[in-house]
Amino acid sequence: MAVTEAQARRALRRADFKWDAQVEDPRDEKNQVHAHHGLLSVLAAAFSCGRIHLRRVEDFSEDLGEASRRKLGVGGRVSDTTLYRLASEQKPKGFRETTQAQVRSLIDQKVIANDIFPLGVMTFDGKSVWTSTTSMVDGAKTSVDENTGVMTASLMSLRAVLTSSQLRPCLDFELIGDKEGESPAFRVVFPRVREKFDAQFKIVTGDAGLASRENSRLVQEAGKYYLWGLKGNQPTLLALAEEMFKLCPGGLMKRNEDYRNGSLVVRELHTITVKDVPEVDVAGIQQMWRVRQQTFRDGNLTAEEVRYFLSSVPPTLLSPSQQLALVRLHWGIENGHNWAMDVALTEDDVQPCQKSREAIEVIAWLRVLGLNLLAAWRAQAGKKDRLPVPWERCMEQLRDAFVFSSQGVSRVTLG
């Protein structure tokens, strides 16, 4: 599809990855055709265009225009064998710092901003990075299907995503393997995110797996507010919430309606103040929230779901509309980052290198760099019918921008 010179410039500017000094070259020093950081940049740029299989990354490198090759740091086509060898040997050290530098640059350029929710919301959520029924790596979790006897190996990650930005960039993640969990991982990731991006968020949201007393205290001591989901992993608190709302459902703070796929979706928010209720022994707790979502089709109720939340947000800080919007932002990590990772960058289905846990983590970081690049491109791509341009079309536009200089634009300087 046609792209402009301005789009080509923007694509190259976004792909100018600042690789941290800790990202060391694992290859032998002699007889190297391509620069180390150049190969990593090509992988991240190709991933941003949906080219995940290494053979397709090779094709991508061959199609690159002269200016793109100069900017990315490769001299020509890169074979899939070379890419696999690098990915299998590369250590993940320094990739976190590279991702943080990418996000910081986008913040400084005002590409990333709290344009959805001004207070800033950092959402933490678990996300699979690798699953296999045919191979195994050290440190992976394993489970066996009782019906089929098939063993599945997997590696998870806990991700930190700025859901108050329309880009929903991933700022950090921690790999979770066997005998590890999301809640301990939060206590590792949260201080890192706070150190690097403290000014970007005021509220922390997470699912029920993070709703521990220790995590709540950590957030409170950092001067932030939390909104935790509440499920069966906290049976005492969940039973208390159900009983409290049953006896006194609380004021209807907000009710909204919207249409989705031909159905009417109605959401209602009820809140109860529990700040001084001794049975709710959670640091900083202010309220319990209940959100009931009902789906109607042709006037008939087809689905109903009730969810409970623990909130340390002061009752007067947010309007009822903002409270309900915060709940939807919390779910935004699934609809935004996680969905895009799985559908656009095929994280659940395609693993180009699974030789070791370190190789899987390196690919996960390259995917994050690629998705952040793609999201930044999409945010500036305009809208169609008042909606963001579809991910697939954005990937094709971005790919064409990278090869643009081969269409005769090499006569201009795209640096």
The stretch 384-399 carries a mean pLDDT of 87
Pairing of strands 225-230, 203-206: parallel
Neighbours of 211 (CB within 10 A): 23
Predicted pLDDT at 414: 36
Percent of the chain residues topping a pLDDT of 90:
63
Alpha-carbon distance of 17 to 72, in angstroms, equals 8
**SS3 call for 286:** coil
Report yes or no: 234 and 211 within 8 Å, Cβ to Cβ: yes
pLDDT in tens, 338-349: 999 999 899 988
Report yes or no: 18 and 415 within 8 Å, Cβ to Cβ: no
Report yes or no: 389 and 379 within 8 Å, Cβ to Cβ: no
The stretch 98-107 carries a mean pLDDT of 97
| Pick from 75-79, 105-109, 159-163: least confident | 75-79
Q: Which two tokens stand for residue 128?
A: 């699979």
Calculate the CA dihedral of residues 392, 398, 402, 408 and round it to 10 degrees: 100
Predicted pLDDT at 291: 92
- Domains of the chain plus CATH, in order, are 5-95+352-411 (no CATH), 112-343 (3.90.350.10)
Type of residue found at 218: L
Alpha-carbon distance of 282 to 216, in angstroms, equals 7
Predicted pLDDT at 251: 64
Report yes or no: 162 and 121 within 8 Å, Cβ to Cβ: yes
DSSP labels for 14-70? Answer: HT-----TT----S-SSS--S-HHHHHHHHHHHHHTT--SHHHHHHHHHH--HHHHH
- Rounded to the nearest integer, the mean pLDDT of the chain is 90
The H or E element containing residue 311 is strand 300-311
Considering only CA atoms, give the Rg of the chain: 23
CA 275 centroid distance within chain: 32
DSSP labels for 315-374? Answer: TTTS-HHHHHHHHHHHHHHIIIIIHHHHHTS-TTT--S--SSHHHHHHHHHHHHHHHHHH
Cα angle for residues 317, 322, 326 (degrees, 5° grid): 105
Predicted pLDDT at 411: 38
Predicted pLDDT at 249: 63
Judged against a pLDDT cut of 90, whether residue 188 lies above it is answered with: yes
DSSP state of 390: P
Judged against a pLDDT cut of 90, whether residue 246 lies above it is answered with: no
Alpha-carbon distance of 300 to 17, in angstroms, equals 52
Predicted pLDDT at 296: 92
Alpha-carbon distance of 58 to 36, in angstroms, equals 15
Alpha-carbon distance of 26 to 318, in angstroms, equals 50
pLDDT in tens, 217-232: 999 999 999 999 998 8
Percent of the chain residues topping a pLDDT of 70:
96
